[in-house]
Structure formats: C-alpha cells, structure tokens
Amino acid sequence: MSAQDKNTPGTNLNNHQQSMANIAVLSAVGNIQELKTQLNTGLDSGLTINEIKEALVQLYAYCGFPRSLNSINAFMEVLEERKIKGIIDVAGREASPITDTGNKYDVGKETFQKLTGREETGPKTGANAFAPIIDVFLKEHLFADIFSRDILDYRQREFVTISILSAMSGVEPQLQAHISMGLNTGITEGQIMELSTIIEKHIGKEQAEIVRNTLVKVIKINKKD
C-alpha cells in the first residue's frame, strides 16, 4: 500500500490497513452498500485507486469472481460519484512488468515457500495429491501470477487474504494457514487481534471469535516448532 503501510508494522493497524481490512471484509460477504462507504473512507485516507483495485482483483482467488466483480463495479461507481463532486483521487503506480522468465510453477512454489518459511519437499499430500491440478493452479496462478504483481507486497497481500478469510464461515483451515503465512511476512499478532474487532463489527461475535481462536492455535503450533 502507500508509504505509510510500507513502514515497519506496529502493534496496531494504521488507517490504511484498517481501510483495506474493511474493504476486503465487506467485499467478501457482498455488503455492497457498506462497502461503498468504506471505499470512500479508504480513498480519503490515502489509499490509491490501484492499491484498492489490486485487492479487489485478488479477492476472486478466495471467494470467487462474482464477489470480486461486484466489488469492482461498486468501486467504479464510487470513483464516478467522487469525480462528479470534483474529488481527484490518486491513481497510484501500475504493476511493474514481470521479467522472470522461469517456469511459472517453480516461481509460485518459491513464493509459497517464502510465505510459509518452509521448504516444500516430498510427495504431494491431501487435496494436492487427490487433485494435482489444484496444486498447479495455486502455484502458477495465485502464487506466481497474482503474488508477483508488486503493487502490493507479500505482507499486504497476506493481510488482504486474512481479512477475506476472516469474514467467511467454514474456511478455518485456510484461515489458519494464511495467519501463519501472515505472521511470517511481518503481520503482528496484535494486528490480527485488531482485525478480529473489525470482523465483530461487520460480521458478528461468533466469526470474530473464530479468528481469535485460530490465531491462538497458530501461536501454539509455532511455539512447538
């Protein structure tokens, strides 16, 4: 995100991070009316058009094209309304050209290993073994195509991902995995706890408690390792 978010992360979420969390959470659950309010808040706080756009595109990898497209359309409406009011929003920089010509699967695998902090060795297990093509799609598209775009860095992308998954029910295994990756990228436990208060506000206490419990589980696992 903008320069403010590129600083060393603190205990609490800064204004940019709070806005991005609100935008990701509301997009994930399809609350378009409230999303428009938060999109305005995010722009007013200094997020660029391209930063928000990038998060809304990434959304589809976790909750589908319909949510992503609806949120992008809502963002277009917000920008048009602001333009009519004479508000000039900063577009922000475009993604740098991707110059890595290596095998896309290997690029994605390397990114995944950086996020997890672990080398991926041995035969595939679980869903990746049962349906190997999903592993290919994850590595080549999500962790290569999407995560290689430098408008958002790994920490920012993981924060968006955690926000999305925190808003959704029934995805605790994925939330646990991404909280672990998020901590590896520099997101703090305190920031995830603060994110849970955003979840409680928009989604409810039960979902917020799932986020907190999942964080505790990740912390315990990390201590054992």
pLDDT at 4 over 50: no
Q: What is the mean pLDDT of residues 109-133?
A: 95
CA angle 93, 95, 96 (to 5 degrees): 110
| Proportion of the chain above pLDDT 90, given as a percent | 89
| Contact status, residue 34 vs residue 203, Cβ threshold 8 Å | no
Q: What is the mean pLDDT of residues 55-64?
A: 96
pLDDT at 51: 98
Q: What are phi and psi of 85, to 5 degrees?
A: -80, -5
pLDDT at 1: 45
**Which pLDDT tens digit goes with each residue over 68-104?**
999 999 999 999 999 999 999 999 999 999 887 789 9
User: What is this structure's pTM?
Assistant: 0.93
The SS3 call for residue 210 is helix
Token reading at 154: 């790994």
The domain 3-95+149-224 having CATH identifier 3.40.190.10: the answer here is no
Mean pLDDT for the chain?
93
**Which pLDDT tens digit goes with each residue over 135-172?**
999 999 999 999 999 999 999 999 999 999 999 999 99
Question: Positive or negative CA dihedral for 57, 62, 68, 71?
Answer: negative
Question: For the chain, what are the domain ranges?
Answer: 3-95+149-224
Residue with structure tokens 């595109």? Answer: 57
pLDDT at 8: 42
